[in-house]
Amino acid sequence: MTSTVVYLGDLRTKATHLQSGEEILTDAPVDNQGKGAAFSPTDLCATSLASCILTIMGINARDHQMDMTGTTVLVNKVMVADPDRRIGQIDLEIKMQDRDWTDEEKEILTKAAASCPVCRSLSPVLVIRKTITWPS
């Protein structure tokens, strides 16, 4: 097993990662009857996508002796209600760490960003817009 999730009441859950014991609280978002006091489940989905992309890029960076420590992703999740409430779009801006990247390194990391397993697992109707910003 990977985790356990417990409903705490008042639209809040607690997920526990079984291997490490780490915990994540979720709360329903304000626009869906919640308090917005923690990540919502859909926030975690979009954030998980960004974390996965950085992890796959990080594996490739390590394999090619590149340091991308400090690289960040700005995540914007857009909900839609038609026909049913769901994530309609996720915008990701990957801001690469400030260093001189060669064209070869950029190509390696760009390909890595496109091979994220979370992205491959999401519905094809979900619009994912991903941009990589390299320092100038």
Burial class of 18 by CB neighbour count within 10 A (0 to 12, 13 to 18, 19+)? exposed
pLDDT tops 90 at residue 96: yes
- Give the other-Cβ count within 10 Å of 132's Cβ: 18
Please compute the mean of the pLDDT values over residues 59-80 and round it to a whole number.
Answer: 97
What's the mean pLDDT in 86-101?
97
What mean pLDDT comes out for the span 74-80? 97
pLDDT digits (tens, 9 = 90+) for 5-42: 999 999 999 999 999 999 999 999 999 999 999 999 99
Closest listed residue to residue 93, CA positions, set 59, 50, 136: 50
What CATH architecture is 41-133? 2-Layer Sandwich (3.30)
* DSSP H helices in 1-40: none
- Nearest CA to 92 out of 65, 117, 72 is that of 72
